[in-house]
Chain A
Amino acid sequence: MKKYPCPSCGAEVTFQSSITIFTVCAYCRSTLVRKDLNLETLGKMAEIQDDSTPFQVGTTGRFKGEFVLLGRVRVSWQEGFWDEWYARYGDGSEAWLSEAQGFYMISFPFEKPDHLPAANEAKPEMTVQIGKTAYQIDDIKQITYSFADGELPFVAAQGFKGISVDLTHGENDFASIRYGKDGGPKDEVEVYVGQYLDFQEFHFQNLRQMDGW
């Protein structure tokens, strides 16, 4: 864990993970980037007004070990949004917990396969081989990052644009391909694989308390 003073308001800013480079100051909402030994201010992150997420920074859950949520990014698309929570395990390994209208899925970074369709070639129901599994494309969405909170392993500045491709296999297997910028084959591509789970299966602790619930 590393602590810094916020360059904007002086409040203490902590980085739980050594991998994360981005955080939002909990007091003044400044977006901060870790560079060498210093923090640089990028701008401000507005609070979201209507937030029904059951999670908060510090919520813990279990899936093949215990993880803690460090930060989140809100991914918006034409018809709505979902939240992606950055999770860290005790051994330092990372995962993403996605939350969309009561669906929960956990996924892990996966080595990029040799043959991956370019973002503009991806079509629903297309089969994509990732590792030993043949996944089917469910949907392809143009996305932007509309909100960030807590610690993240990348600079989640508002306005990031990309293409998100969701894939499924069998009853619960899930994969996601994230294409950066224009989604061309040379742009940065990240692959995640994981599973859909029911809320109870994660045995969450330290959830966000909501009035009346």
Chain B
Amino acid sequence: MAGDSKNTPAVSNFDCQQCGAPVAIRASGFTVTVVCPSCGSLSEIDNGNFILVQRSVELLKIKPRIVLGTKGKMRGCVYQVIGFMRRYEREYADQPWDEYLLYNPYQGYRWLMEYKGHWTLFKATKSVPQKVTDRSVSFIGSTFQDYHQGNAVVQFVLGEFYWRVRAADSVRTRDLIKPPFMLSQEIDGREVNWSLGEYVEPAEVLDAFHPDPMPEKEGIAPNQPSVVKGLRQYCTVWLAAIVVIFSVQIFGTSIKPLKIIEGKRVTVPETGLSDIEVAQFSTASSSTHVEINVTAFVDQSWATVGLSILPVEGTNQTPAHRFEKDISFYSGYDDGYWSEGSKSEDFLINALPRGNYRVLLTVTPEKGHSVDILAKVKVSPTVWSNCWLAIFLITLPIVWLSFRSRVFETKRWSDSEFNPFAKREEQ
């Protein structure tokens, strides 16, 4: 940034008209108000002349945590702390917050605000946020929600400022949040000023400006980033994982061979048979797909086939499933061969629980016909329980993170008159 012209002294000095102490002006030319750090008297600068405006009657009781004149690097830029202002919300004078005016002759001014150990770095903006609803505005592509509206009153000032400021000055304020950002509006009757702040971790402030004593964090700041990090990213990963799990499962099902159990062939007399066991099979998963193919060797006749599936173990002999179908087959030669019906029927059972099963048939042949019957059981090999377990396990963190996020957001909004959680409870 070096120029070839003469260096300019960036700091000028004047002697305080109340106590005589030398007072440094660090933003010479821009500074309009200066408060003597020794005695607290306030002067205004008009055309290079210092005019004592407010004499201080008490010795300075308030000592800023950051020493005026401290230089430090924050967000990639060096700033000097040149002013300090303590303000409070009207009617809550016992809960003030501190604001440090930072200056860089090239980058201009920033505000570092501290309240209950939480720090936010503000930059004034000329861009005007656009109204979205009565309770939100849009700015730099984000929507900010109303958090607080009130009146900020100046309790104490020290150092220099680029506007005319006095103790007891009051402005109307409106704070909107989109953590870690905060958008603040100040209206002083003539002017509307907007500034955009971003939450700064105390460690970064400590590194830059060495506040002493460093205040401990208390509670949750309006624009504090949620401690619950990565919920959104995790949801994306979760969705991808679900797709992968199902793909693997379905692909696995399609390439693995079915387990086939050939039942014994039974001859059914013309009087029929009830509940004869033709096969046994077992399922390995809690939700197995089973297909039972029954062939009745009927010819020019029919038979009614009832099929039951019964667990092998246990005393419960209620069939897990019961089906009934008619099987008929007719054929002959008229103008060539013809046939009607089919000797085979498929019985499909979805989601059969894990266990060992018996296949029982009840066959009623057409009067005067006996019939041979054969059952073939095809058991799908895919184990779905692992799939469901995997989905359950990867879903658990979402439930946990959502819960913690909800707890955090509830706390964040608990001090706001626009608390969306409170509104829900009222309804």
Chain A interface (Cβ < 8 Å from any Cβ of B):
48-54, 56, 58-59, 79-80, 101-103, 105, 139, 168, 170-172, 174, 196, 199, 204, 206-213
CB-contacts of B97-130 with A (<8 A): 104-109, 124, 126-128, 130
Other A-B contacts than A52-B29, A199-B107, A208-B5, 19 sampled, CB-CB below 8 A, are A50-B48, A52-B30, A53-B29, A56-B5, A58-B3, A101-B109, A102-B107, A168-B128, A171-B127, A171-B139, A172-B126, A196-B126, A196-B127, A207-B2, A210-B8, A211-B8, A212-B10, A213-B1, A213-B104
Contacts of B133 in A (CB 8 A): none
Q: Do A207 and B126 have beta carbons less than 8 Å apart?
A: no
Chain A CB within 8 A of B425 CB: no
Looking at chain B's contact residues, is the secondary structure mostly helix, strand, loop, or mixed?
A: loop
Report the minimum CB–CB distance from A122 to chain B (whole Å).
15
Report the minimum CB–CB distance from B176 to chain A (whole Å).
16
Knowing A171-B127, A207-B3, A211-B9 are in contact, say whether A199-B28 is a contact too (CB < 8 A): no
Could you say which of B1, B48, B130, B162 contacts A49, with CB atoms under 8 Å apart?
B48
Chain A CB within 8 A of B12 CB: yes
Could you say which of B2, B29, B78, B127 contacts A48, with CB atoms under 8 Å apart?
B29
Knowing A56-B3, A207-B3, A208-B5 are in contact, say whether A103-B124 is a contact too (CB < 8 A): yes
Contacts of B104 in A (CB 8 A): 213
- Cα-based distance from A58 to B7 in the complex (angstroms): 15
- Cα-based distance from A51 to B5 in the complex (angstroms): 14
Q: Do B10 and A211 have beta carbons less than 8 Å apart?
A: yes
Knowing A48-B29, A50-B25, A79-B163 are in contact, say whether A102-B108 is a contact too (CB < 8 A): yes
Knowing A50-B29, A139-B191 are in contact, say whether A103-B108 is a contact too (CB < 8 A): yes
Looking at chain A's contact residues, is the secondary structure mostly helix, strand, loop, or mixed?
A: loop
Top 5 A-B pairs, shortest CB-CB distance: A102-B108, A50-B28, A171-B127, A50-B29, A52-B29
Report the minimum CB–CB distance from B101 to chain A (whole Å).
11
Q: Do B105 and A210 have beta carbons less than 8 Å apart?
A: yes
Chain A CB within 8 A of B203 CB: no
Most chain A CB atoms below 10 A, which of B10, B27, B109, B164: B10
- Cα-based distance from A168 to B127 in the complex (angstroms): 8
- Cα-based distance from A171 to B109 in the complex (angstroms): 20
- Cα-based distance from A139 to B190 in the complex (angstroms): 9
Contacts of B1 in A (CB 8 A): 204, 207, 209, 213
Report the minimum CB–CB distance from B94 to chain A (whole Å).
33
Chain A CB within 8 A of B11 CB: yes
- Cα-based distance from A59 to B7 in the complex (angstroms): 15
Q: Do B126 and A212 have beta carbons less than 8 Å apart?
A: no
Contacts of A79 in B (CB 8 A): 32, 163-164
Q: Do A199 and B106 have beta carbons less than 8 Å apart?
A: yes
- Cα-based distance from A19 to B351 in the complex (angstroms): 88
Could you say which of B12, B29, B126 contacts A103, with CB atoms under 8 Å apart?
B126
Contacts of B30 in A (CB 8 A): 52, 101
Most chain B CB atoms below 10 A, which of A48, A170, A171, A172: A171
Q: Do A206 and B128 have beta carbons less than 8 Å apart?
A: no
Could you say which of B27, B32, B107, B140 contacts A171, with CB atoms under 8 Å apart?
B140
Could you say which of A101, A170, A174 contacts B108, with CB atoms under 8 Å apart?
A101
In the assembled complex, 9 residue pairs joining A and B whose CB atoms fall closer than 8 Å, in A order, are A49-B12, A52-B27, A101-B108, A102-B107, A168-B126, A171-B140, A172-B126, A209-B1, A211-B7
CB-contacts of B1-51 with A (<8 A): 1-5, 7-12, 25, 27-30, 32, 48
Could you say which of A49, A54, A139, A206 contacts B105, with CB atoms under 8 Å apart?
A54
Q: Do A51 and B8 have beta carbons less than 8 Å apart?
A: yes
Contacts of A103 in B (CB 8 A): 108, 124, 126
- Cα-based distance from A174 to B106 in the complex (angstroms): 21
Q: Do B106 and A50 have beta carbons less than 8 Å apart?
A: no
Contacts of B3 in A (CB 8 A): 56, 58-59, 206-209
Contacts of B105 in A (CB 8 A): 52, 54, 210, 213
CB-contacts of B71-112 with A (<8 A): 78, 104-109
Report the minimum CB–CB distance from B124 to chain A (whole Å).
7
